[in-house]
Structure formats: structure tokens, C-alpha cells
Structure 1
Amino acid sequence: MAEYDRYAHLKAIHAKRKENTHQKIDEAIKRLLKANEKINFNSVSNEADVSKATLYNNEDFRSRIETLRDQQSQVPTPKQVKREMNESNKDALIASLKRKNKKLADENKQLREQLKVAYADVYKKL
């Protein structure tokens, strides 16, 4: 009978558990990116169902999460873009709306004139 090597067996179990954890973390990061969610240690920890200490202690995951977090913080959110609208953008928007308003008022006036002509034609036919 072959001799049982407890140390090798425990080492294999640990390697398998470590591989499963890495896979769960990779998949969690991919899901968060796909869903356009914020990437940080809390969100990855919750999504992958692993402890934050695991993420902090593993240099690969730690640097990956920090890099993704920094990249997301540099991309402005729609709220930030709206807040950063400066005066020239507002002036351009106001001018555009004024032009559109004038165009609609002219069109309305023209349609009213056409309606008067149409009413006159109907009245003449009576």
C-alpha cells in the first residue's frame, strides 16, 4: 500500500481553494464591469463573497482593484458633467432654444394664416 502524504494532500486542497477564490474574484470583477457598477474593495468583496482581507493581502487583486477604481474615478459621471456646465455652454443652449422658439412662433403664425384662408374658402362655398 502506498504511503499517505498528509502534507501533499493539504497542499493540494489549499491550491484548489486558492484557485476557486481567484476564479470567484475574477468573475465578480467582470460582472461589476459589465453592469457598470463601482469597483472597490467592498463591492468586489460582496460580489465574490470573499473577505476584504483576501483582496488586500493578494497583491495582484489589490493592484487590479485600485487601478480600476482610479480609472472609474477619472471618468466623470453624468451628474458631474451637468454640474460642470459652464456659462458659455449655458449661453449656447439659451441661444439655441431662442432660435428654436422663434422658428416655432413663425411656423405657428404661418399656420394661422393658412387656417384663415381655409376658413374663408369654406365660408365662400356656403
Structure 2
Amino acid sequence: MASYDRREHLKAIHASRKALTYQKVDDAITRLIRFNESINFNSVANEAGVAKATLYNNSELRERIESLRQRQLEDPTSKQINRNINEGNKDALIQSLKRKVKKLEEENKQLKEQVKLAYGEVYKKF
């Protein structure tokens, strides 16, 4: 009869859980990268279905998430690129709007003069 070693059995269970956790986290990170989502401890924990404490306490996972998060911060996203383009066009847009406002103010002034003349003609007829 084979002897049952409880310690070895617990080690095997722990190793299988650890491997499953690593696999979940790897899959979650892959999905986040594929869908261009931000990578941080909250998003990885939610996507993988593990506790944030697990990610923080495991040094290997922690370093990986921190490095991916840092890399994402350094690489400009499409939103940041659009914001930079918009800021570059901001001055041109302001000048264009100023010209439009000035044109509309002149047009408004001319229309007010025409209304005054029209009222004057109506008043003369009475």
C-alpha cells in the first residue's frame, strides 16, 4: 500500500493553483494588449479574475505589470496623438473663429443700419 504524504499533496495543489493563476494573468494581459486597453493592477485583476493582492504579492507578476504599464505610459496612444494634433491646430482654429466673429459683427451692424432705414421709411409713410 502506498503511503500518503499530505505535504507532497499540498505542494502539488499549490503548484497547480499557481500555474493556473499565471495562466489567467497571461491570458488577461494578452487580451488587454490586443484590445488596446490600459494595463494596470486593477484592469489585470478584473480581467483575470484574481485578487489585486495576488498580483502585488507575486514579485514576478508585479514586475511584469509594472513594466507593461510603464511602457504604455511612454508610448503615445491614439488619443494622445489626436490631442497633440488638436493642440497644434488650436491656434489656427482660434484665428479662424476670430475672423468669423468679426465678419458676423460687421454683418450684424449692416443689418441694424438697414432696419433703421426701413423704420425711417415706414415712419415717413404715416
| TM-score of Structure 1 vs Structure 2, range by shorter chain | 0.5 to 0.7
Report the counterpart of residue 13 of structure 2 in structure 1. 13
Identical amino acids, percent of aligned pairs: 64
Please list every run of 5 or more consecutive structure 1 residues that lacks an aligned counterpart in the other structure: 93-126
TM-score computed with the length of structure 2 as normaliser: 0.64
Once the two structures are superposed, the pairs formed by residues 15-94 of structure 1 within 5 Å of their partners are 15-85=15-85
Q: How far off its partner does 1:85 sit?
A: 4.0
Count of residue correspondences: 93
Name the stretch that deviates more: 52-61 or 74-83: 74-83
2: CA distance between counterparts of 1:44 and 1:11? Answer: 26
2:45 is paired with a residue whose SS is helix
69 and 4 in structure 1: CA distance in 2 versus 1, 3 angstrom threshold: same
- C-alpha root-mean-square deviation of aligned residues, in Å? 2.4
4 and 56 in structure 1: CA distance in 2 versus 1, 3 angstrom threshold: same
69 and 91 in structure 1: CA distance in 2 versus 1, 3 angstrom threshold: same
Please list every run of 5 or more consecutive structure 2 residues that lacks an aligned counterpart in the other structure: 93-126
